Amino acid sequence: MSDDNKPGLIGQIKDKLIRSKEKTAEAGRHLTGRVDNDHANRLPPGQHLVDKWPVLDLGIQPELPLDTWRLAVDGLVEHPLTWTFDEFMSLPQERFVSDIHCVTTWSRYDNRWDGVSSKTILDFVKPKADARHVIFHSYDGYTTNIKLEVFAEPDVIIAHSWEGARLTREHGGPVRAIVPQWYFWKSAKWIRRIEFSATDKPGFWEERGYHNEADPWTEQRYS
């Protein structure tokens, strides 16, 4: 499936939601001006703790039957791949526990993820020497970008389960990215493609006023 198949979905997104988030970014809301480079506190500046896991997205929660679901890993790699769900589940599996920090100021501690680590994916596809960026493409038309070295961090996981149960559709099932060191908008739900690229490709929110990186400890909320 190419990116060009998806503008129809993006076209359905409520303009109002996008506008209000853009305004939040323009106004620099939620910025405290505090910096916690050493991670002295477990909770990053400007964040508050929640117990229940909120749902945030563009309002399209694609229904993805497992028998037709595919995940492609391609771009600047030696061995581009496309996995079926059964193939994905038969890859080496890992379990990581990490905290979620959403730019809208909620954080949730100790989330247990099961899935395939970025390290395993890198070993399979082998990025070419000039690959510098990783772009997640999702079934709802969403995209987001991270640097290759961020993708390669040992806690990054392409997850199918949370707290021992399959990810629900609203939280990005069957499979989503988890990039624990960055604000949660970098953790793309419903991923269909992981693209390796020489050039950076700012994603949906990065093009709408959000920071290109997303470090909660230095409050990289907006650009």
Ligand X SMILES: Nc1nc2c(c(=O)[nH]1)N[C@H]1C(S)=C(S)[C@@H](COP(=O)(O)O)O[C@H]1N2
Q: Which residues bind ligand X (CB under 6 A)?
A: 53-58, 102, 138, 140, 142, 171-172, 184-185, 187-190
Query: Residue 121: which of Mo ion, ligand X, none does it interact with, CB under 5 to 8 A by kind?
Result: none
| Cα distance from N-terminal residue to C-terminal residue, the chain | 31
* Residue 189 interface partner, choices Mo ion, ligand X, none, CB cut-off 5-8 Å depending on type: ligand X
Smallest distance from the beta carbon of 213 to ligand X, in angstroms? 15
Return the bridge partners of 82, or none. Answer: 72
CB-nearer residue toward ligand X: 56 or 148: 56
Position of tokens 């059964």? 86
> What is the amino acid identity at position 17?
L
Q: Is residue 148 within 8 Å of 133, Cβ to Cβ? A: yes
- Residue 119 CB, nearest approach to ligand X (Å): 22
User: CB of residue 136 vs ligand X: minimum separation in angstroms?
Assistant: 8
Using the rule CB under 5 A, is 56 a contact of Mo ion?
yes
Binding span for Mo ion by CB under 5 A among 63-71, 94-102, 154-162, 213-221: 94-102
Sequence-separated (6 or more) residues with CB below 8 Å from residue 3: 137
Least CB distance to ligand X at residue 6 (A): 11
Q: How far is the CB of 78 from ligand X (least distance, A)?
A: 27
Task: Tell me if 204 contacts Mo ion by CB under 5 A.
Answer: no
Which residue from 207, 212, 204, 160 is spatially nearest to 57, judged by alpha carbons? Answer: 204
> Do 128 and 179 touch, CB atoms closer than 8 A?
no
Q: Which is nearer to Mo ion, 85 or 190 (CB)?
A: 190
Distance separating alpha carbons of residues 7 and 52, to the nearest angstrom: 32
